[in-house]
Structure 1
């Protein structure tokens, strides 16, 4: 190729790159210019809704625009998540996701969205271990005692969940498999009815987040025994990791922000910075610390990898336990 032509192509390429960089910077500068809607794909008052509303004021403060929480419940989070997957990729419609609709549900049924291709991770807001909790009337006072008693009791002991195919359900089945237990699964239609049954002594155990269990724990109706992180954690101080007695066990919950695929990099960066700002606020940190969960942001790449890892982990549990949705 003649030198003059190579020089011309190089200049054109440089011009394209500089134009892209300028457009990207402009997008970040001008965004947002109107209210942002965050879809919570569950009913108001639930765990996901609580986390979203806890960071909402700080998001508004950082972005200098109203941030509106829209609850679009239904089909285990699928309806609201799909609405965002099909929304304009401009950063003004987001979803507050979690393991359910973003990793587990697509493994259990055909969803109208692909959790990897149709949604773009922005950041986590909360990452927390699942906690093994028992009824206050349960004779086991620690993890070792629970494992021994559960093995002796066989299927006469149970564990509750917030529904078939939920993270709490899969965690219980995973625990059964790794610990060699036969706890019977008892599903409920959501966290509130499960915790009511739990507090009433109808369940021997359940895997919960600190957000789910705080009220019953403070009332003395349930007791925490161990955490699902791979090692002990200051998030739930004083408790052993389940992995200390059940090697290889790990189960965590996350809540975070995702956007439709195609949202510009500059807008994702701006949103990520807003979430990081929000979860670092002292009042947000305090609120979540009191509920035994950790306010923590992640990079978009870290959240995507977390979702991929969950799909691998829980896919194995679903197949082994033959879990199906009606």
Structure 2
């Protein structure tokens, strides 16, 4: 089991000022703006700061994180989609920004046209956790409570269209319970609402440090396998839940649509090389990610497939 210090210690410092690293001709010409579409303290923010620090020495310029939160990540995503397509403004997207939110509101960008896939940081684990005062100690008990008291339970998320929003709706649907969605401006605020007892449930990796310190009670994990931070907790799939849920909870890097292919290839190479650094991979794992290096084309196919599958589920669940 990992400690709170390890979970929070890496990637939270100010962006690294580069002192070394040669740049390729014409790119980069100046510092890069690395846009995180969520507030400080969110998982997206932690990933942004980790990867910006890793990229700076490879690119030979400063890589500066900018938090542009709002509308479940849509504000920052739109800003990048409208930026000059030269590779100097990048988006650290969560899956929800591109595969969920565009189905639910007028975000002002087409995720398949206006943003170019660059690199994947990894698939994120999720933690189903509750306020310790809630009288449940397992997923079965949570479902039983929801069935006894229809409409009583609520779940907090990082906003409308976030992965936590969809996961909560899918869990309620599969468990045949009624639960109220409570959106917040970021996962850190959502987690604190559950810690304070204002909300009951959260499904998000940001809940991990609170669970390890006893401020939240963990019930189960989501992800490709068991999360090694919680080796004794069952994965939802082991409980027969979530096996057919669409999409993943990934974090990836995107550029404005129309960014030249050589620029995308350069960033992808440096990003993937950074993922291979033990300290970078370890930091991402501490934030609940399973690092995965892929080509831009593969990330693009994943986004398109998730976008289509999630659209079908949202229509089935009548979420709009």
Provide, for residues 103-124 of structure 1, a one-character-per-residue CA deviation record: whole Å limited to 9, x for no partner: 2221112333211111110111
In the alignment, the residues of structure 2 paired with residue 61 and residue 116 of structure 1 have an alpha-carbon distance, to the nearest angstrom, of 30
Cα 1:184–1:85, aligned 2, differ >3 Å: closer, same or farther? closer
Which of the numbers 265, 271, 285 marks the counterpart of 1:269? 265
In the alignment, the residues of structure 2 paired with residue 116 and residue 100 of structure 1 have an alpha-carbon distance, to the nearest angstrom, of 13
Cα 1:258–1:56, aligned 2, differ >3 Å: closer, same or farther? same
TM-score by length of 2: 0.82
Which is further off, 72-81 or 111-120?
Answer: 72-81
Following superposition, the deviation at residue 312 of structure 1 comes to 2.5
Following superposition, the deviation at residue 249 of structure 1 comes to 4.3
Which residue does the alignment assign to 1:287? 283
Contact 2:86/2:259 (8 A) holds in 1: yes
The alignment yields a C-alpha RMSD, in angstroms, of 2.5
In the alignment, the residues of structure 1 paired with residue 305 and residue 229 of structure 2 have an alpha-carbon distance, to the nearest angstrom, of 22
SS in 1 for 2:232: coil
1:226-305 equivalence runs, <5 A: 226-229=220-223, 231-234=225-228, 236-244=230-238, 245-246=240-241, 248-250=243-245, 252-305=248-301
Cα 1:194–1:111, aligned 2, differ >3 Å: closer, same or farther? closer
1:21-170 equivalence runs, <5 A: 29-170=25-166
Following superposition, the deviation at residue 322 of structure 1 comes to 2.8
Contact 1:236/1:293 (8 A) holds in 2: no
Which residue does the alignment assign to 1:12? none
Larger radius of gyration: 1
1:156-235 equivalence runs, <5 A: 156-209=152-205, 212-229=206-223, 231-234=225-228
Contact 2:284/2:291 (8 A) holds in 1: yes
TM-score by length of 1: 0.81
Cα 1:291–1:89, aligned 2, differ >3 Å: closer, same or farther? closer
Count of aligned pairs? 296
Contact 1:121/1:303 (8 A) holds in 2: yes
Which residue does the alignment assign to 2:10? none
In the alignment, the residues of structure 1 paired with residue 224 and residue 122 of structure 2 have an alpha-carbon distance, to the nearest angstrom, of 17
SS in 2 for 1:39: strand
Which structure shows the bigger proportion of residues in helix conformation? Answer: 1
In the alignment, the residues of structure 1 paired with residue 250 and residue 99 of structure 2 have an alpha-carbon distance, to the nearest angstrom, of 11
Cα 1:175–1:51, aligned 2, differ >3 Å: closer, same or farther? same
Where structure 2 has 5 or more consecutive residues not aligned to the other structure, the ranges are 1-22
Contact 1:198/1:204 (8 A) holds in 2: yes
